[in-house]
Amino acid sequence: MQSLARPVWQALGAGWAGRAVRFGGAVRLDRRFGPLAALDPGADPADLAALAEPGEALWLVEPEPVPPPPGFAVTRQGQLLQMRAGPLGPPPPCDLAMEPLGDADAPAMQALAALTQPGPFASHTNEMGRFIGVKRDGQLLAMAGERMPPAGFGEVSGVCTHPDARGLGLAAALSHAIASRIAARGDVPFLHCWPDNRAAVTLYERLGFSRSGAPWLTVIERQTKL
């Protein structure tokens, strides 16, 4: 089974190659799309300083915790649960229609992401992987899309539901739809969540995902003075 031990680095060398910004052995996603970054094997961690403005954070997902490079401080660090899909079951029931989300929906998507904190959501994250959502009376209630595209994989990401719409099964229906789309093109759906989020883990297990890894998220912030 193909490894996803370094999903960000793998994505930046595959589906994100056209949106990658490099300095020496450091590489990051164009900041308009998000703060994810990585280092080539054996690269100097100090190269990351050229890819972040003072006060800007970079997110790294690696097999082990990442110590802060010179000029950075760790602001968040923890072990994620990585899950990948086997055969997906039938679509969960959903009483509300799912629809594609486009540029006109970007402000509502930004607001929902700011409210629910599904992970980093930058100004152009909505353009990364054909998000879909559920609306009621014009209000965006829930959404899901794609993010990391390592070769042969697609990450289900940006899954979030407005607090007023929880309990309607929207996250399950949207996640299943995104995972089905990834599988239909011949890639393996995968995702990340916090292992102590039992509700999310149980939901994804019901959809056909199983535990496949435990990478570390390290968020580092460049200090004002190097």
Q: What is the pLDDT of residue 2?
A: 77
**Inter-residue contact 47 to 41 (CB < 8 Å):** no
Distance CA 95, CA 198 (A): 24
Q: Are residues 116 and 15 in the same domain?
A: no
Residue 1 has pLDDT above 70, yes or no: no
Distance CA 160, CA 163 (A): 9
* In a domain? residue 2: no
Residue in the structure block whose two tokens are 């010179």 = 70
17 burial type by CB count under 10 A (0-12 exposed, 13-18 middle, 19+ buried): exposed
CB count within 10 Å of CB 7 equals: 25
Q: What is the pLDDT of residue 181?
A: 97
Q: Are residues 77 and 87 in the same domain?
A: no
Q: What is the pLDDT of residue 225?
A: 66
Residue 226 has pLDDT above 80, yes or no: no
Q: Are residues 94 and 167 in the same domain?
A: yes
> Considering the chain, what percentage of its residues have pLDDT values greater than 90?
95
Measure Cα distances from 189 to 177, 208, 211 in Å. Answer: 11, 10, 12
**Confidence class for position 224, pLDDT limits 50, 70, 90:** confident
Structural domain boundaries, residue 28 = 7-81+215-222
Q: Are residues 30 and 121 in the same domain?
A: no
Going by the DSSP 8-state scheme, the letter that residue 50 receives in this structure is G
* In a domain? residue 96: yes
Q: Are residues 73 and 88 in the same domain?
A: no
Q: Are residues 14 and 46 in the same domain?
A: yes
Q: What's the whole-number mean pLDDT along residues 196-200?
A: 94
* In a domain? residue 1: no
Q: What's the whole-number mean pLDDT along residues 39-58?
A: 95
Q: What is the pLDDT of residue 47?
A: 96
Phi, psi for residue 57 in degrees, rounded to 5: -100, 145
Phi, psi for residue 12 in degrees, rounded to 5: -65, -20
Q: Are residues 24 and 107 in the same domain?
A: no
Choice between 93 and 1, residue whose per-residue pLDDT is larger: 93
Q: Are residues 161 and 205 in the same domain?
A: yes
Q: What is the pLDDT of residue 128?
A: 87
Q: Are residues 33 and 93 in the same domain?
A: no
Residue 168 has pLDDT above 70, yes or no: yes
Q: Are residues 92 and 204 in the same domain?
A: yes
Q: How many domains does the chain have?
A: 2
Q: Are residues 127 and 112 in the same domain?
A: yes
Residue 141's domain is classified under what CATH number?
3.40.630.30
The whole-model pTM stands at: 0.94
Distance CA 176, CA 51 (A): 35
**Confidence class for position 110, pLDDT limits 50, 70, 90:** very high
Q: What is the pLDDT of residue 50?
A: 95
* In a domain? residue 128: yes
Q: Tokens standing for 207?
A: 């959809």
